[in-house]
Homo-oligomer: A and B are copies of this chain.
Amino acid sequence: MNRQQYAYDFPHPALATDCAVFGFDGQCIKILLVKRGIEPFKGLWALPGGFLRMNETTEECIRRELHEETSLSPEVIEHFGVFSALDRDPRERVVSLAYYSLVKQSEVVGGDDASDARWFALGALPTLAFDHKEILDKALQTLREKIHFEPIGFDLMDRQFTIPDLQRLYESILGVIFDRRNFMKKILMSGVISECKDVEVAPSPTRHAGRNPKFYTFNKEAYDQMKGNGKFKMEF
């Protein structure tokens, strides 16, 4: 294979994408990391991602890399920042476009048991390669800011979910405790969720006692309409 076969009039940095993938297991928020198989930082854990190809946009790039490295094809992938410190990659100048992704439990197909991709709780993160800790911190900050005002919590829940589960999600992300009655009232009054008539969900393996909760589903049409009107309000 030819080396140095791509030449330009002026210097070009390499352009990469990295993605902080968030998931929720019913109790707390988790991050998906992959173990690096090559140098640099071989053996360390890193955010999934890779270099941009010339025939794809940056969002296509991160979706391709995510699928290659973790078998995921999440609905929600959003750009949130640029990391361009001069020495962030020891090989050459690499600018990284940072994305976050929100995946539902039902989108996780398994396959990450014996592989080199694993979910980590926020409190038990390993040492990360490159500046990925910094990227992850900013992703978390972005997630916390957005979830105050936008209904992105639903993107982390399965299509059918219970309100107590949703409350645990919010509490896990924001690090606070809400009153059950007020939380339920606020969610129901927002008008964007509706009760499921036919529940198609297996009982959660994490449930142990207590009354069977009702299941709800997110009503995207209602949300889009209210958002268009400027009538949507859900603040935490």
Using a CB–CB distance below 8 Å, which chain A residues touch chain B?
Answer: 3-15, 51-59, 79, 81-82, 84-86, 92-93, 95, 97, 148-149
Considering the complex, give the chain B residue whose CB is closest to the CB of A1: B9
Contact A52 to B95, CB < 8 A, known contacts A9-B4, A57-B84: yes
The 8 closest A-B pairs by CB, nearest first: A12-B12, A4-B7, A7-B7, A58-B84, A57-B84, A6-B11, A6-B8, A11-B54
> Which of B12, B59, B85, B148 is the one whose CB lies under 8 Å from A13?
B12
Interface majority SS on A: helix, strand, loop or mixed?
loop
Q: How far is the CB of A12 from chain B (nearest CB, A)?
A: 4
The distance in angstroms between the C-alpha atoms of A81 and B98, with both chains bound, is: 10
The distance in angstroms between the C-alpha atoms of A9 and B148, with both chains bound, is: 44
Q: Is B54 a contact of A13 with CB atoms below 8 Å?
A: yes
Contact A8 to B12, CB < 8 A, known contacts A52-B95, A57-B85, A82-B58: yes
Considering the complex, give the chain B residue whose CB is closest to the CB of A4: B7
